[in-house]
């Protein structure tokens, strides 16, 4: 399935990687495409520190010879997490538990890269070029299996040659529940959507291309 290519996009000020970017290394034919709010901090930590995937390439200029790994997430679940992230990082003093503000948020929908449609990070690619792992309760085990069996890296948990040889890699995921305000925002947004089904459907319709991808691809480990 070919993912339509976007011809122009907004460059978010704090987002350091252009659309089309992926992490790789000079010794690997594979790569990892970073999509914000899809366990991206956690996965980048593994690929950059554990696997030495520190080279940023662009698949329009340097297509990967092997597979590109993509983590995908339920679009509305990701949107809720992304909005929570945005207000926590950019407007910490604003309480979103306000009907007028929630109406504005759900009408605007996209605020930064954390709420940008997932398909835009895969613009112009064929799904046959990609390996997808779903962000769910099997995500960590599927990712570890992929690294071991597809990338053929058995000792990726150990950061070699740094301050202390054989220091274990820190695999602490970045999750909303780690921050009280983020967690509260998530609860507020979830409750608002569950009690306003038409608004939830509006958001789902906005992310229709994400849902088309999410529901029709084959997942690694499934």
- Its pTM stands at 0.89
Rounded to 5 degrees, what are φ and ψ at 49?
A: -90, -40
Residue 169 has pLDDT above 70, yes or no: no
Q: What does the pLDDT average to over 173-195?
A: 82
Distance CA 201, CA 80 (A): 14
pLDDT > 70: what percent of the chain? 89
Classify each residue of 100-129 as buried b or exposed e, where b means 16 or more C-beta atoms within 10 Å of its C-beta. eebeebbeeebbbbbbbbbbbbbbebebee
**What band does 25 get if pLDDT is binned at 50, 70 and 90?**
very high
Distance CA 106, CA 193 (A): 9
Rounded to a whole number of angstroms, the CA Rg of the chain reads 18
Least reliable range by pLDDT among 12-16, 35-39, 149-153: 12-16
Q: Are 125 and 70 in contact (CB under 8 A)?
A: no
Q: Are 53 and 28 in contact (CB under 8 A)?
A: yes
Q: Are 59 and 67 in contact (CB under 8 A)?
A: no
Give the tokens for residue 5: 């290519």
Phi-psi region of 152 (alpha: psi -120 to 50; beta: other; left: phi over 0): left
**What band does 163 get if pLDDT is binned at 50, 70 and 90?**
very low
Rounded to 5 degrees, what are φ and ψ at 166?
A: 65, 30
Give the tokens for residue 220: 């690694």
List the chain domain ranges.
21-216
Length of the chain as a residue count: 222
Least reliable range by pLDDT among 82-96, 150-164, 185-199, 208-222: 150-164
Distance CA 7, CA 96 (A): 34
Give the tokens for residue 12: 């978010």
Q: How many CB atoms lie within 10 A of CB 2?
A: 9
The helix or strand, by DSSP H or E, that contains position 214, with its residue range, turns out to be helix 208-216
Q: What confidence tens digit (pLDDT) does each residue in 41-93 have?
A: 999 989 988 899 999 999 999 999 999 999 999 999 999 999 999 999 999 99
């Amino acid at each position: 399935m070919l993912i339509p290519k976007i011809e122009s996009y907004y460059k978010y000020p704090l987002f350091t990687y252009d659309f089309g970017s992926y992490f790789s290394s000079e010794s690997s034919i594979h790569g990892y495409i970073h999509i914000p709010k899809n366990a991206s901090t956690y996965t980048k930590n593994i690929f950059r520190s554990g696997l030495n995937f520190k080279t940023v390439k662009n698949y329009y200029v340097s297509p990967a010879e092997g597979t590109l790994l993509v983590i995908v997430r339920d679009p509305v679940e990701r949107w809720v997490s992304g909005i929570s992230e945005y207000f926590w990082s950019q407007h910490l003093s604003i309480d979103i538990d306000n009907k007028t503000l929630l109406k504005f948020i759900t009408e605007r929908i996209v605020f930064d890269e954390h709420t940008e449609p997932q398909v835009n990070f895969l613009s112009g690619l064929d799904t046959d070029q990609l390996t997808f792992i779903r962000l769910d309760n099997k995500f960590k085990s599927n990712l570890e299996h992929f690294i071991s069996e597809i990338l053929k890296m058995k000792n990726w948990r150990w950061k070699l040659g740094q301050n202390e040889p054989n220091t274990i890699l820190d695999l602490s995921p970045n999750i909303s529940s780690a921050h009280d305000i983020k967690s509260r925002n998530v609860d507020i947004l979830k409750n608002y959507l569950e009690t306003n089904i038409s608004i939830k459907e509006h958001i789902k319709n906005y992310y229709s291309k994400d849902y088309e991808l999410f529901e029709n691809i084959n997942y690694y480990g499934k």
